[in-house]
Amino acid sequence: METINLVSDTATKPSSAMLEYMMQAEVGDDVFRADPTVNALEELGAKKFNKEAALFCPSGTMTNQIAIKCHTQPLDEVICHAYSHIYQYETGGYAFNSGVALQLLNGEHGKITAEQIEAHIRPVYDWLPLTKMVSLENTVNKAGGSYYTLDEIRPITQLCKERKLKLHLDGARIYNALIETNESTQDVGNHFDSISVCLSKGLGAPVGSLLIGDHDFITQARRFRKVMGGGMRQAGYLAAAGLYALENNITRLKEDHAHAALLADCLKQRSYADNILFYGTNIVFFDISGKYTADSFIEGLDQEQIKAVPLGKKTIRFVTHLDVDSHMVSRVVDVLEKMDS
Ligand SMILES: *Cc1c(COP(=O)(O)O)cnc(C)c1O
């Protein structure tokens, strides 16, 4: 029986076509900016988001950390939602790397509004941190894959311009959002000072994220990448996977969303599941009740070679991705039904 991994879209492995493309990459020493494939990926990323430059980094954690480092000084403050990856899952790096505080906001569906942000910009006093940056996440992982539309982002961009705040997008799953809103990467780029995009989630590359912004920002970012130990040598083999992903794996994200919809629909009919949270992207959250605990439910799935993880005591997360095909989704649906009997 084939293992089905619903733990995360980070689980994707390179397809044979992607591997072949990687093997044929022309490479050089990227610390000297002499890797043509890395350069090509950075150029493509910048162009897609209508920005001047981009930087290939080993992880999305690094791209976010570098963005915070570039946009702030110690004793500054960054406004973001309490669900943000930069707060939840980056080891407190904002404090370690940049010496900044976060001001955490709550908001429905893991999102924040311009009004909320405006109400939390600090007045300037010696005893307060200086508000310097706002970070949005799109889609919002910890909210269950909810997403912002440009209509929601526009007033935030406007406010940040007026108040001289840098606006960063943690767009680890930005393509999952855009495939639903039918908005363009260029438009997204025009609304942010910096953008982080994961190549290793739903897009299917084994490693890597792009940090995208203007020339001066990326020049500074390159120095911070080096000091964080992220200067890579013949990284073109990895960048090739990113190029392949951007060329081939974007429109198919629709399939992941359709698969997640099937799982959400099935769960809505199960006696052991409630509070099913599904925003139309590739993530489904639900609470376990009745005959299962989160642990016993996960154990039941495990016996059918289906992998998932609990988030907290009773919440389960399913994530669909490139390595979960429609046959696998049918098998998961069968198992979910069988577990109800
Ligand atoms: C996965 C993810 C990242 C980056 O994670 P890495 O594992 O460091 O690449 C950043 N932000 C969000 C919202 C994510 O889901």
Domain residue ranges of the chain, discontinuous segments joined by +: 15-248, 252-338
Going from the C-alpha of 340 to that of each of 80, 241, 266, 271, 329, the distances in angstroms are 40, 41, 11, 7, 17
Asked if 102 and 86 count as a contact pair (C-beta separation under 8 A), the reply is yes
pLDDT at 13 over 90: yes
What CA–CA distance (Å, rounded) separates 181 from 179? 6
How close is the Cα of 271 to the center of ligand 1, in Å?
A: 33
Ligand 1 lined by 9 (C-beta under 6 Å): no
**Residue matched to tokens 């002499």:** 34
CATH of 15-248, one of 3.30.9.10, 3.30.1330.10, 1.10.3720.10, 3.40.640.10: 3.40.640.10
How close is the Cα of 117 to the center of ligand 1, in Å?
A: 23
Asked if 138 and 169 count as a contact pair (C-beta separation under 8 A), the reply is yes
| E strands, 150-220, in order | 166-171, 194-198, 209-213
What are the pLDDT digits (tens) for 28-75? 999 999 999 999 999 999 999 999 999 999 999 999 999 999 999 999
Question: What does the mean pLDDT of the chain come to?
Answer: 97
What are the pLDDT digits (tens) for 96-146? 999 999 999 999 999 999 999 999 999 999 999 999 999 999 999 999 999
pLDDT at 290 over 90: no
The residue whose CB lies within 8 Å of the most ligand 1 atoms, and thus the one to mutate among 170, 203, 210, 281, is 170
| 171-197: burial string, b at 16+ Cβ within 10 Å, e else | bbbbbbbbbbbebebeebbebbbbbbb
Same fold for the pair 15-248 and 252-338:
no
Which CATH code fits 252-338?
3.90.1150.10
pLDDT at 4 over 90: yes
How close is the Cα of 90 to the center of ligand 1, in Å?
A: 9
